[in-house]
A and B are shown apart, each in its own frame.
Chain A
């Protein structure tokens, strides 16, 4: 047992981090916000060329032939950089929808409860539907996750009033990769908070010297580290209970850390200028994708009841 990333895995993560820092750094993020471009087709193709979507496709089918642990590390980086677009759905569609693997197609999914679909306007296909359905635009809380309301959602519900279309086969991997995005965001907001706390001065010293601020930051790190081990472990074991726990803890870490990061930023945190609100809003969106907290908790409760102890 050696539950640390291998050198190859660390290199892969570092490579993706560099790629995203160069191609989708802060200026690119702010520019897409100004222009309202959620999916940049050029970036999408570059991600495709780098193997982002074809990562888990077998080499015999033109993929990279890696596994979920590697995919999780790569998605963690995308979450850290706040890359918008249906990354998870397009990744899941590689090998299923033509062009998805190469990043020439943008694929969304029925991964939200109710009748809302993300990125419908930009989608070439929707996972689980034979054709892209028509939909009415809905103003979205996350400026870089446009939402549409569709009339019908292409498949049966799961008995809880949630529709998953034909996406159920993708649900585990979808939940786990979404959790990885959440994890990246949670780790990033710790960094943002710590950096600001070291720079911003009040009462003649950096605010990070105040214990109330320190303790917020320490709490953020603890949340992120617990979520990190849950996400990595679930990627290794692919156990449904561990995937549910990973999603649950990563959702909590992303939302909780973004909130605390916003608090550390004070009034600045409440402005459009700071990036914190973008992390928080995206974290809210992802919390509704593939598996909500309530669903994860119910699944875990059933597993607990059946556990030998």
Chain B
């Protein structure tokens, strides 16, 4: 049990910190959630700067265009960028955090060469077309069909809740290629260009008022067979790789941001007199302790991953996601208590964050599904009938 960093790691941290201190003051504010094209340009601009400074794809394997950094260096990167208030991956989320790593792990050399550099350089945005109107938690029951026609698949069906679909260039798409096989065995993982004829994107408004996700309608969309990742009908296995990346590392940096937010909240409470309420004060103290422990949990998981081969995060990510998503909601509910009636104003940043925190126990697998995973796959409890 060692929480100290090596000289090399401290060096890395110092250089990163110095670089952030130089570039962040020049950065304008991120455009509002009403302006997704603006946000795309902003997020990709930030990605380009990371790329030029040598910080893109830090934890990706070198032969996938990454820097082959250790999990600990990646953790330092997430910690320092969040601490400095640097922009988050934003629109580049899917490409950098799960489609990219999936292609790096499962794609052919040609596929890696085609798709990975533009993600790292900040040229192309990916989205995730997994969920369907009738296939959410029960993802394997998806119905979008793909039929072989020469060198193409011809796809028809629809997807829903596709984040950033409006501004994406590519979609990691799950399709059914064998309707007669058992439901987990007939699925295939494809890369679909979003500008292909037959793709229609219809924005959905979130409860926070923005259009960060969309419905997607696919009418005879043609995707070359060469753009399939993994074997035909082996898409469920590839999907498990994608989901473990999604749950394993995607929220790590945010824990640091939550600690910072709590500090601001405490000072706000001090200023508006709410700090004198011992119940509220203790609740803030408890949350501070919890987020501290969650940060340590990420260090624990990263150390564990560092010792295991392969680099695909383990299902411990489900334990983290469960604890974190509920703590995050509690944090913003507490913020509302500190603010009182002011929390009803949409001009308050905390109010928008409170609204968006509601998605954390749903997106990337609901809490109920995570508990099933923990109970069956970690604790070994029997599957229900």
B371 and A215 contacting across the interface, CB-CB below 8 Å: yes
Interface string of B302-335 (1 = CB under 8 A from A): 1110110000000010010011000000000000
Given contacts A206-B382, A221-B378, A226-B294, contact A214 B3 (CB under 8 A): no
Residues of B within 8 A of A229 (CB): 293, 296-297, 299-300
A190 to chain B, nearest CB (A): 7
A209 and B1 contacting across the interface, CB-CB below 8 Å: no
Q: How far is the CA of A229 from the CA of B270 in the complex (A)?
A: 30
Residues of A within 8 A of B88 (CB): none
A222 and B282 contacting across the interface, CB-CB below 8 Å: no
Whether A236 is near chain B, meaning CB under 8 Å from some CB there, is yes
Residues of A within 8 A of B114 (CB): none
Residues of A within 8 A of B382 (CB): 198, 205-206, 208-209
Interface size on B, residues (CB 8 A): 60
B325 to chain A, nearest CB (A): 11
Closest to A309 in B: B263
B379 and A218 contacting across the interface, CB-CB below 8 Å: yes
Whether B229 is near chain A, meaning CB under 8 Å from some CB there, is no
- Which parts of A177-234 form the interface with B (CB within 8 Å)? 190, 194, 197-198, 205-206, 208-211, 213-215, 217-219, 221-222, 225-227, 229-230, 232-233
B368 and A215 contacting across the interface, CB-CB below 8 Å: yes
- Which parts of B332-377 form the interface with A (CB within 8 Å)? 368, 370-372, 374-376
B282 and A294 contacting across the interface, CB-CB below 8 Å: yes
Whether B31 is near chain A, meaning CB under 8 Å from some CB there, is no
Whether A116 is near chain B, meaning CB under 8 Å from some CB there, is no
Whether B292 is near chain A, meaning CB under 8 Å from some CB there, is yes
A4 and B307 contacting across the interface, CB-CB below 8 Å: yes
Q: How far is the CA of A3 from the CA of B2 in the complex (A)?
A: 5
Whether A244 is near chain B, meaning CB under 8 Å from some CB there, is yes
Given contacts A1-B2, A215-B371, A229-B296, contact A245 B381 (CB under 8 A): no
Of A1, A5, A69, the residue contacting B9 (CB under 8 A) is: A1
Closest to A193 in B: B379
Q: How far is the CA of A296 from the CA of B281 in the complex (A)?
A: 12
B263 and A245 contacting across the interface, CB-CB below 8 Å: no
Q: From DSSP, what is the main secondary structure of chain A's interface residues?
A: helix
B285 and A301 contacting across the interface, CB-CB below 8 Å: yes
Q: How far is the CA of A217 from the CA of B1 in the complex (A)?
A: 27
A211 and B372 contacting across the interface, CB-CB below 8 Å: yes
B308 to chain A, nearest CB (A): 10
Of A69, A236, A304, A309, the residue contacting B284 (CB under 8 A) is: A304
A155 to chain B, nearest CB (A): 26
Q: How far is the CA of A194 from the CA of B375 in the complex (A)?
A: 9
Closest to A300 in B: B285
Given contacts A208-B381, A209-B385, contact A301 B2 (CB under 8 A): no
Whether B266 is near chain A, meaning CB under 8 Å from some CB there, is yes
Interface range on chain A: under 10, 10 to 19, 20 to 34, or 35 or more? 35 or more
Q: How far is the CA of A230 from the CA of B75 in the complex (A)?
A: 18
B290 and A209 contacting across the interface, CB-CB below 8 Å: no
Q: How far is the CA of A2 from the CA of B1 in the complex (A)?
A: 6
Q: How far is the CA of A266 from the CA of B381 in the complex (A)?
A: 17
Of B260, B270, B278, the residue contacting A309 (CB under 8 A) is: B260
Given contacts A226-B323, A309-B260, contact A3 B300 (CB under 8 A): yes
Residues of B within 8 A of A209 (CB): 381-385
Residues of B within 8 A of A236 (CB): 1-3
Whether B275 is near chain A, meaning CB under 8 Å from some CB there, is yes
Q: How far is the CA of A27 from the CA of B4 in the complex (A)?
A: 43
A303 to chain B, nearest CB (A): 7
Q: How far is the CA of A210 from the CA of B264 in the complex (A)?
A: 43
Q: How far is the CA of A69 from the CA of B286 in the complex (A)?
A: 23
A226 and B297 contacting across the interface, CB-CB below 8 Å: yes
Of A213, A214, A225, A303, the residue contacting B319 (CB under 8 A) is: A225
B322 to chain A, nearest CB (A): 5
Whether B118 is near chain A, meaning CB under 8 Å from some CB there, is no
Given contacts A194-B380, A298-B282, contact A230 B293 (CB under 8 A): yes
B266 and A2 contacting across the interface, CB-CB below 8 Å: no
B379 and A217 contacting across the interface, CB-CB below 8 Å: yes
Given contacts A214-B371, A241-B292, contact A4 B381 (CB under 8 A): no
Whether A237 is near chain B, meaning CB under 8 Å from some CB there, is yes
A245 and B289 contacting across the interface, CB-CB below 8 Å: yes
Closest to B76 in A: A1
Residues of B within 8 A of A194 (CB): 379-381
Of B299, B304, B383, the residue contacting A1 (CB under 8 A) is: B299
Interface string of A247-270 (1 = CB under 8 A from B): 011000000000000000000000
Residues of A within 8 A of B304 (CB): 4
A241 and B289 contacting across the interface, CB-CB below 8 Å: yes
Q: How far is the CA of A298 from the CA of B284 in the complex (A)?
A: 9
Q: How far is the CA of A55 from the CA of B374 in the complex (A)?
A: 35
Given contacts A1-B4, A4-B1, A214-B381, 16 further A-B contacts (CB under 8 A): A2-B303, A2-B306, A3-B296, A3-B300, A4-B304, A208-B382, A215-B375, A218-B372, A229-B299, A229-B300, A230-B293, A293-B286, A296-B289, A297-B285, A297-B286, A300-B285
Seen from chain A, the residues whose Cβ lies within 8 Å of a Cβ on chain B are 1-6, 9, 69, 190, 194, 197-198, 205-206, 208-211, 213-215, 217-219, 221-222, 225-227, 229-230, 232-233, 235-237, 241-242, 244-246, 248-249, 293-294, 296-305, 307-309
Q: What are 12 inter-chain pairs, A to B, with CB distance below 8 A? A: A1-B3, A1-B75, A197-B381, A210-B384, A214-B371, A214-B375, A218-B322, A218-B375, A222-B319, A222-B322, A230-B289, A301-B284
The 8 closest A-B pairs by CB, nearest first: A245-B289, A301-B285, A300-B285, A309-B263, A214-B375, A297-B282, A230-B293, A218-B371
